[in-house]
Structure 1
């Protein structure tokens, strides 16, 4: 894991923002599509030399005003602005309100959380901790993910499955997008120096190689909270699933609920659950 997360974040975003997005002309002989240091420095009202020190990790204590100016120049979302501030404070070693330690890694769901899962049956739903361990799930989730091998391990982990089990590539036609989201969640949800995150990242760097490490190094990718996931199910066929994520921040957990995005998926889930056709209805909403 890099010890210059702030500099990596700034450089990654600078290289990702085009001159047009920043209101600048592209100009001739541009080597990369992103902004030059001089351009970002001008937009943010700082010197090129100071921006260089930030990107190289030689200065790790920018003021709130500088962070705000850089965030405005890069047109960062609220989520990314919060991450930028957190990276600055983690790099400086201070501000417990921004970079407080995460709660102890949870290995079980509380009884009341399990009771919530019971109320969600037969919808596919699971409780995950911040490193992707599946702590509890509905029977509907087992019927959905059991046949693709996700629950085979003694301690199922979504990231290990996606990055190290060949069945995941067959199960997820949009594997790259699923992988992007999972790594972004790992990077953005908890302190980056958390030992459990570091241990899992080290493990997957060895077992999955560049497909994991390149994603883990990309701080410009943020996780989607909602969206459509495609699943090639060996029993139910092609499924299009919407997912919603409900966070339990005090527990370091989240509940992920999958719902049918169209009528054919609703009918397929009915068949998996042994219910009469039409028991489930497709859920309208944003897809992507």
Structure 2
């Protein structure tokens, strides 16, 4: 990844989102850029304009955490955006003046016992995904919930590839726009955390080449944490399900997240989830166990 460019574009898109009156400044009539000017961000952060311009260009060697926090405050970054800024700055500093070495894989081994834990969750769908959105493990209900993704994928299923390149994606994920936004935002987080991972760079390159909606979203440089919320699915056998999810980091395995889903008690989605469990059991009996493909 081009770290200096990513850092520049991230800061530029963040300041473009802030109107001057949001930070107590007068917008004036002749404003050629949306949002804040560089000199305004510098003033709010308590640094010189020249110094801020240097930072926005990706020249962050020697920049203190205090300065980065001041910039994050000036740009009204949330916790996820602030962490992303620090990850970008750390990557830019580490590789300043150096050519990246051999591009490495960021794939991680699923910890021993995690599949057993997943399988014990018999009433809740659960999957484990890595930072670039491969589904690396699932329980029976999780596999059933994502059956369309598994069935239409050769090898390890990847949610970003499915969302942007499969013509059934908008049927599987009825709120496709949000699913697309979130997947790109999560990939931006991973790209800053592991900027020279061949899995990340290869995936981003492939999606940028083949999908205009992906390119548009990638240029926005939004980031998000996949911690909790709701997601809507459409399943061919049971119809629509709106489920709550909780995302938990897998300790000792940076980049792996366990995501569990539950339905509102007494809701149509809970009834659909029960039907999904019956469907999954029937499919297992008919076809036999079909585990998540190993790399």
Q: TM-score by structure 2 length? A: 0.81
CA contact (8 A) 1:230 1:238 kept: yes
CA contact (8 A) 1:149 1:167 kept: no
RMSD, aligned CA: 2.6
CA contact (8 A) 1:229 1:242 kept: yes
Q: Tell me which residue corresponds to 1:255.
A: 258
1:86 lines up with 2:87 in the alignment = yes
Report how far residue 250 of structure 1 moved. 2.3
Residues paired across the two proteins, number? 267
Structure-2 change in CA distance of 1:228 and 1:245 (3 Å): same
1:87-102 matches, cutoff 5 A = 87-93=88-94
| Distance in 2 of aligned mates of 1:225 and 1:119 | 22
Q: Tell me which residue corresponds to 2:136.
A: 135
Structure-2 change in CA distance of 1:255 and 1:72 (3 Å): same
| Distance in 2 of aligned mates of 1:87 and 1:161 | 27
1:214 lines up with 2:211 in the alignment = no
Q: Tell me which residue corresponds to 1:120.
A: 121
Relative contact order: is structure 1 or structure 2 higher (C-alpha 8 Å, sep ≥ 6)? Answer: 2
| Distance in 2 of aligned mates of 1:224 and 1:177 | 12
Report how far residue 70 of structure 1 moved. 0.9
Q: Tell me which residue corresponds to 1:25.
A: 26
Q: Tell me which residue corresponds to 1:199.
A: 202
1:273 lines up with 2:273 in the alignment = no
Q: Tell me which residue corresponds to 2:231.
A: 229
SS at match of 2:240: strand
Per-residue deviation, residues 87-126 of structure 1 (Å, max 9, x unmatched)? 112111179xxxxx999512x5333101110111132111
Report how far residue 249 of structure 1 moved. 4.6
SS at match of 2:234: strand
Report how far residue 73 of structure 1 moved. 0.8
1:64 lines up with 2:68 in the alignment = no
| Distance in 2 of aligned mates of 1:174 and 1:23 | 37
CA contact (8 A) 1:19 1:33 kept: no
Q: TM-score by structure 1 length? A: 0.82
Q: Tell me which residue corresponds to 1:152.
A: 152
Unaligned runs of 5+ in 2: 97-102, 280-295
